[in-house]
């Protein structure tokens, strides 16, 4: 069997499918040449395990590959590393064909399973340390939640030193040559996938890497794109670096970043922003900065948001709304971890002035901490009102530095 491209080793085979036509994945991701839905078959002396399935519309290809390698009666386990439809699409059909197969999912997947398959399926739950045996092959499970679904887990095939990493280390990159040392240059796709899928869960990436570090890994078998066999550590190091490089300013200088983002047509909100920043910057241990949303592109926004401990957004009210760049800024939070960040909103207005409160509410849904009420000022700010802006910025910065908030309701 070796020498056959689909064989990672004598007993582990690629049975995934290719989707060269796909250009937009999960609404948010672009792919220049398609992708793959990887699935793997592991054969042991006492049966077969199928590691994930594929997107439903490609199931016939999947079953053809599977049938070439095993009988359905031999399948002892079906492992779903997470339940997303691009990998669980052929599950029901596979379960119906494989009479002795036991489904293995993570604990967090239990509640989801019902919502997804709409029928009762027997399953077994795996968490870190659980193993299953195929006779001469042992698969150990690792709980690696939130990468990128809450129920994500990984697994490790001891005898072959293969890590089944789920979507972690994936790329939306189509190349039937399969292996990282044989395919074209997929480095952009590997990074793009990380940025769009894993970056919001950096903290969990680092936790997963700690678990992976306990194993000697010869091959990483992800669920999309090339199989990484040339030098797995290279890819692990990349993930480690990307996941820990955030907040390099804080690590380097020990300061907290308070960022004021604003947009202004007649300079009223701009004047407020200036004072908010000054107020914040007075606080020991804080570096405050301000940025005009009119000139920030998306990548800058994402980087700045990530670096910032507190995010203060200023927008005038225009036609009963905050301005679009302010919404665009906040929608960049989809790529980031928000928990723990402090938010606040302000703006100048003419007659209704709902923008700051709308931004404040939006930040609440994004799980910001919002200890200070929105600040709005009618048209041109007076000297007194500018002092309020200073106090507003200072208060946000002090809370960012750990000041306790006390109030009565």
Partner 1 sequence: MVSVFLKNDNIKVKAGVGKTMRQIATASGASMEFGCRVGDCATCIAKIEFGMQLLNQKTEKEIKVLKMLGGDVSGLRLMCQSHIRCEEGEIVVSYIF
Ligand X SMILES: Cc1cc2nc3c(=O)[nH]c(=O)nc-3n(C[C@H](O)[C@H](O)[C@H](O)COP(=O)(O)O)c2cc1C
- Asked if 349 and 377 count as a contact pair (C-beta separation under 8 A), the reply is yes
3 state SS of 207: helix
Q: Give the integer Cα–Cα distance in Å for 237 and 232.
A: 9
| Residue 35 site contact among partner 1, ligand X, Fe ion, none (CB < 5 to 8 Å, cut-off depends on kind) | none
> Is residue 349 helix, strand or coil?
strand
Q: Which two tokens stand for residue 45?
A: 């002396």
Is residue 39 a contact point for ligand X (CB under 6 A)? no
Q: Please report how close the Cβ of residue 111 comes to Fe ion at its closest, in angstroms.
A: 17
SS3 103: strand
Calpha distance 82→307 (Å, rounded):
30
Nearest to 256 by CA among 401, 402, 404, 403: 401
Closer to partner 1 by CB, 87 or 341: give it. 341
On whether the CB atoms of residues 342 and 400 are closer than 8 A, the answer is yes
Q: Is 350 in the site for ligand X (CB under 6 A)?
A: yes
Nearer to ligand X, 215 or 327 (CB): 327
User: Which position among 184, 285, 320, 340 is part of the footprint of ligand X (CB under 6 A)?
Assistant: 320
Comparison of 352 and 382: residue with beta carbon closer to ligand X? 352
| Distance between CA atoms of residues 269 and 265, nearest Å | 8
Instruction: Candidates 57, 237, 267, 298: give the one binding ligand X (CB under 6 A).
Output: 267
For residue 155, the SS3 value is strand
Residue 126 pairs in a beta bridge with 106
Q: Which of 24, 352, 382, 387 binds ligand X (CB under 6 A)?
A: 352
Which does residue 167 bind out of ligand X, partner 1, Fe ion, none, counting CB within 5 to 8 angstroms by kind?
Fe ion
Kindly state whether residue 170 participates in binding ligand X, applying the rule CB under 6 A. no
The reply to whether 150 sits near partner 1 by the rule CB under 8 A is no
Among residues 257, 372, 386, 389, the one that binds partner 1 under rule CB under 8 A: 372
Write each residue from 381 to 400 as x if it is in contact with partner 1 (CB under 8 A), else as -, in one continuous string. Answer: ------------------x-
Can you tell me which of 364, 379, 388, 390 binds partner 1, judged by CB under 8 A?
364
Neighbours of 386 (CB within 10 A): 18
Residue with tokens 């665009």: 328
| Residue 115 interacts with partner 1 (CB under 8 A): yes or no | no
Report the partner that residue 371 touches, choosing among ligand X, Fe ion, partner 1, none (CB closer than 5 to 8 A by kind): partner 1
Q: Is 349 a residue that touches ligand X (CB under 6 A)?
A: yes
- Beta-bridged to residue 345, according to DSSP, are 313
Region from 76-84, 104-112, 128-136, 287-295 binding Fe ion, contact rule CB under 5 A? 76-84
Classify the phi-psi angles of 36: left when phi > 0, otherwise alpha if psi is within -120 to 50, otherwise beta. beta
Which partner from the list partner 1, Fe ion, ligand X, none does 86 bind, CB cut-off 5 to 8 Å by kind? Answer: Fe ion
Distances (CA, A) of 272 to 82, 195, 249, 276, 323: 47, 34, 26, 6, 16
CB-CB contact of 87 with 223 (8 Å): yes
Cβ 307 vs Cβ 276: under 8 Å = no
Segment contacting partner 1 by CB under 8 A, of 66-74, 193-201, 319-327, 369-377: 369-377
Part in contact with Fe ion (CB under 5 A); list of ranges 81-89, 201-209, 213-221, 374-382: 81-89
Per CB under 5 A, the list member of 52, 84, 281, 398 interacting with Fe ion is 84
Binding of residue 339 to partner 1 (CB under 8 A): yes
Stretch of 91-99, 116-124, 161-169, 360-368 contacting Fe ion, by CB under 5 A: 161-169
Q: How far is the CB of 370 from ligand X (least distance, A)?
A: 21
Give the chain's radius of gyration (CA, Å): 25
Structure token pair of residue 92 = 């029901």
Point out which residues pair with 227 in neighbouring strands.
179
Which chain residues interact with partner 1 by CB under 8 A? 339-340, 364, 367-372, 399, 402-409
Which chain residues interact with Fe ion by CB under 5 A? 84, 86, 167, 223
Which chain residues interact with ligand X by CB under 6 A? 264-270, 316-320, 348-353, 379
């Amino acid at each position: 069997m070796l020498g056959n491209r689909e064989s990672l080793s004598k007993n582990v085979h690629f049975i995934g499918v290719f989707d060269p036509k796909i250009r937009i994945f999960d609404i948010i991701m672009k792919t220049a040449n398609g992708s793959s839905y990887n699935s793997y078959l592991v054969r042991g002396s006492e049966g077969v395990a199928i590691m994930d399935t594929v997107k439903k519309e490609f199931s016939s290809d999947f079953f053809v590959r599977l049938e070439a390698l095993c009988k359905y009666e031999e399948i002892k386990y079906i492992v779903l590393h997470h339940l997303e439809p691009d990998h669980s699409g052929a599950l029901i059909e596979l379960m119906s064909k494989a009479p002795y197969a036991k489904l293995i999912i993570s604990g967090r997947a239990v509640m989801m399973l019902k919502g997804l398959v709409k029928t009762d399926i027997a399953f077994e739950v795996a968490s870190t340390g659980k193993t299953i045996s195929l006779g001469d092959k042992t698969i150990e499970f690792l709980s690696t939640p939130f990468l990128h679904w809450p129920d994500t887990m990984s697994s490790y095939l001891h005898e072959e030193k293969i890590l089944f990493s789920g979507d972690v280390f994936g790329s939306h990159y189509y190349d039937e040559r399969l292996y990282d040392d044989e395919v074209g240059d997929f480095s952009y796709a590997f990074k793009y996938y990380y940025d769009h899928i894993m970056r919001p869960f950096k903290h969990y990436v680092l936790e997963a890497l700690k678990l992976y570090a306990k194993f000697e890994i010869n091959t990483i078998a992800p669920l999309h794109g090339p199989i990484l066999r040339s030098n797995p550590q290279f890819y692990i190091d990349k993930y480690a670096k990307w996941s820990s490089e955030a907040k390099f300013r804080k690590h380097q200088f020990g300061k907290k970043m308070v960022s004021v983002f604003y947009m202004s047509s007649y300079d009223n909100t701009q004047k407020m922003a200036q004072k908010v920043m000054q107020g914040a910057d007075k606080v020991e241990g804080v570096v405050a900065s301000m940025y005009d949303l009119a000139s920030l592109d998306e990548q800058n926004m994402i980087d700045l948001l990530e670096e910032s401990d507190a995010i203060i957004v200023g927008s005038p009210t225009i036609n009963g709304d905050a301005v679009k760049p302010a919404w665009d800024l906040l929608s960049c939070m989809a790529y980031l971890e928000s928990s723990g960040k402090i938010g606040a909103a302000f703006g100048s207005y003419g007659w209704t002035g709902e923008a700051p409160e709308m931004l404040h509410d939006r930040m609440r849904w994004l799980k910001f901490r919002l200890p200070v009420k929105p600040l709005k000022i009618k048209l041109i700010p007076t000297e007194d009102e500018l002092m309020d802006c200073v106090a507003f910025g200072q208060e946000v910065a002090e809370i960012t530095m750990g000041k306790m908030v006390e109030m009565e309701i």
